[in-house]
Amino acid sequence: MSLPPEKASELKQIIHNHLLKMDIHGKIREVLAETVRDDQGPSHQSLSEADFLRALQRRGIIDDLMKDLHFTQEVPTDVTTGSPPKPATHFVDQNIIPLKKTNIDPSRRYLYFQVLGGKAFLEHLQEPEPLPGQVCSTFTLYLHFRNQRFRSKPVPCACEPDLKEGFLLEIHRDGIGEGSKMADATSMLSMCDPVHLVLIRTDTSSETTLVSSYFLDWRTVLSSPSGKTCFAVELMGVGSECKVPAGVLTVSLELYPPLTETLSADIISTQQSLERQRTAEKERLFLVYAKQWWREFLEIRPSHQSKMVKIFAQDENGINRPVCSYVRVLRAGRLLESPRQAARFVSLLAHEKAPVVGGGGGKQEQWCTLMAFLCRGKGDCEDHATLLCSLLLGFGLDAYVCVGTKAKGTPHTWVLTRGTDGSITFWESLTAHRYLHQAIDPDAPPLAPQPKPSSPYRTVGCVFNQHTFLANCQASDAVELCVFDFQNQSRWKAMSKEALESVCAPGSTTSLPPLPPLCAPSLDPAAASNQLELEMRYLVSEHRKDLELATVWDDHLSYLLSSALSAYELERCTGVSCGNEEFQDAVRRAVPDGHTFKGFPIHFLHRNARRAFATCLRSPFCEEIVCCRGDHVRLAVRVRVFTYPENACAVWLMFACKYRSVL
């Protein structure tokens, strides 16, 4: 079998790298020295190549070498182009099939990141060893590095969790472009992108908690002569516990292929120090500018002191960052098809305020980095609004995050988009509802018709996106009176675009968290729907058995409910209702004369059957269907799971029954 020249050189490179990894030259030198020493004597003869190979074989070096080489037959999965693999536009999470093998391009450099175990997670000191098959809380480690995302297998929570995983990170420049060039030590030194580690705890009821968010500078490996380094990483807590250690991970970093020339540790520390100084100086200058800008804003009107003008916000690590840095232009590739679908996706991420230890009713200040928000799968309204604004900017809309209040003066954030015709639309990121804004004219005659407020928002203090920050300096900050004419400086006071971009533009400072790509869903929606439907059938049957009622399922009626559930989700995505006539016609045909049909649809963001059933039974309409008594009772249930990026799920469930009406 002959190989094309490029494949032959690739194979030679792989074999060469494998021999280097085994330190084959050192082993050969040892055997050579030993063989020569043994052969010194009166009957000394010259050492032949065959003798030397036999000596290598006796020492088991050839066997060790062959044992480590695995030859497997490729199973074709796609039409290949023959060109080197390019970085993926999004990460497909393979959480069902373990990854056995990775195609390595010998013309690129990789960082092999290994987690060798955890220790000192003292919060779990008293937890007993989980029994085989027992459901327990788990730790999952998520990684993001230069547009690549990875996830570890979940391991049981313990004081010393068995977190042992390896991740092959590709070091390509700027994510795209010069990916085919081998990065040398100097070019890698200038890559200040950290490895972002996010540790999530998942409890027995599938509730997630953010344990730690850590930015690791991997460049210490550039000074290692062997191209490999191992050290401990102390993970700190989040929010109010950001100064308290959460635990320690032992990690190993290895460059592949190894560097021919390493850098000295002094050069690396000098580079890191220069980056920190440059960042600190930019942040200092912006702070000086922000203070001056705020003083000018207060001089316009003393009442501005009480307006919701938020320039800085704390992230999960307790670091104050300009709010504009939380918004980026985020394109979802093929994962989301429209702005409204993006709004639907964001609304499916659960809403949860940052946890507070103790009472007092005060709101914990915590805006999460995008990676931490996506890994946790839930967050506060600020996290939802900044993600939705980033996605709408990616779809080419003129989008801004609004900071203000809703009913009863509760602080809130939402998204605003401006049309080219001057129209203003509010987007509620927690529900995906949209509201067209029309301002009331306070100078209009008393009897002139005025638009009625349609949105739930009461006041607005400021609006911002990735390069704009505007404070509301109108006489009233009431949303219904507000005119969103951002070019009018008498209504909106703007910050300098240059000042904002000096600390918020991508790559402007090393303290800015990198923007992660969205993950494609790994759930099979049909399998998830079937599984949940079977569980619901079992729960209904058991519930009716407790009431001493028989359960007879009508599979045909169950199938007919699908079109209604599909129409409900389509309406949530697009705002357009369709397909209802066909569903009603099908039900009329399936329900005989003299029979009554009842249906109860409900929507969930989780796939826990018992939780869903308990919620359903709290509705008297649903309980009436599930506990239906009568003549010729037939029950139906249908579940549809709609998957979105990050495995966010819209779960639609419908119970129905038909029975003969008896007067």
Q: Count how many residues are written for the chain.
A: 663
The answer as to whether 46 is a domain residue is no
> Do both 289 and 412 map to the same domain?
yes
> Do both 482 and 553 map to the same domain?
no
Segment 406-452, tens digit of pLDDT: 988 899 999 999 999 989 999 999 999 999 998 777 666 676 666 67
Q: How many Å apart are CA 90 and CA 148, to the nearest integer?
A: 8
> Do both 579 and 498 map to the same domain?
no
> Do both 125 and 234 map to the same domain?
yes
> Do both 252 and 282 map to the same domain?
no
Last residue of a domain, one of 230, 263, 296: 263
Q: How many Å apart are CA 538 and CA 473, to the nearest integer?
A: 60
pLDDT for 2: 56
**Inter-residue contact 377 to 646 (CB < 8 Å):** yes
Q: How many CB atoms lie within 10 A of CB 623?
A: 15
Highest mean pLDDT among 88-97, 128-137, 372-381, 443-452: 372-381
The answer as to whether 169 is a domain residue is yes
**177 band by pLDDT with thresholds 50, 70 and 90:** very low
> Do both 533 and 469 map to the same domain?
no
Q: Tell me the β-bridge partners of 659.
A: 596
Amino acid at 378: K
Query: What's 199's domain CATH number?
Result: 2.60.40.150
CA distances in angstroms from 376 to 150, 205, 237, 256, 392, listed in the order given: 14, 14, 14, 32, 22
pLDDT for 66: 65
The answer as to whether 65 is a domain residue is no
Burial 153-166 (b: 16+ CB within 10 A, else e): ebbebbeebebeee
The answer as to whether 117 is a domain residue is yes
pLDDT at residue 612 greater than cutoff 90: yes
pLDDT for 126: 77
> Do both 203 and 339 map to the same domain?
no
Query: What's 338's domain CATH number?
Result: 3.10.620
CA distances in angstroms from 536 to 46, 532, 609, listed in the order given: 81, 6, 6
Domain of 648, in residue numbers:
525-660
The answer as to whether 69 is a domain residue is no
> Do both 349 and 278 map to the same domain?
yes
Residue 469: Cβ-neighbour burial (10 angstroms; 0-12, 13-18, 19+): buried
Last residue of a domain, one of 263, 282, 300: 263
The answer as to whether 74 is a domain residue is no
Average pLDDT, the chain: 85
The answer as to whether 27 is a domain residue is no
> Do both 224 and 335 map to the same domain?
no
Q: How many domains does the chain have?
A: 3
Query: What's 608's domain CATH number?
Result: 3.40.33.10
Segment 46-80, tens digit of pLDDT: 666 777 777 777 777 776 766 665 544 444 444 33
**Inter-residue contact 47 to 41 (CB < 8 Å):** no
Q: Is 417 helix (H, G, I), strand (E, B) or coil?
A: strand
Q: Is 254 helix (H, G, I), strand (E, B) or coil?
A: strand
In this prediction, residues 271-300 reach a mean pLDDT of 94
pLDDT for 497: 93
In this prediction, residues 375-397 reach a mean pLDDT of 96
Q: How many Å apart are CA 482 and CA 488, to the nearest integer?
A: 12
Q: How many CB atoms lie within 10 A of CB 84?
A: 14
pLDDT for 40: 53
> Do both 608 and 643 map to the same domain?
yes
Q: How many Å apart are CA 187 and CA 569, to the nearest integer?
A: 49
Segment 178-236, tens digit of pLDDT: 545 677 888 889 888 999 999 999 998 888 999 999 999 999 999 988 889 999 999 99
Token match 């909106």: residue?
Answer: 492
Q: Which residue has the higher pLDDT, 285 or 454?
A: 285
pLDDT for 360: 54
Q: 350: which residues sit within 8 A by CB, 6+ positions away?
A: 377, 378, 605
> Do both 242 and 338 map to the same domain?
no
In this prediction, residues 541-554 reach a mean pLDDT of 93
The answer as to whether 103 is a domain residue is no
> Do both 245 and 299 map to the same domain?
no
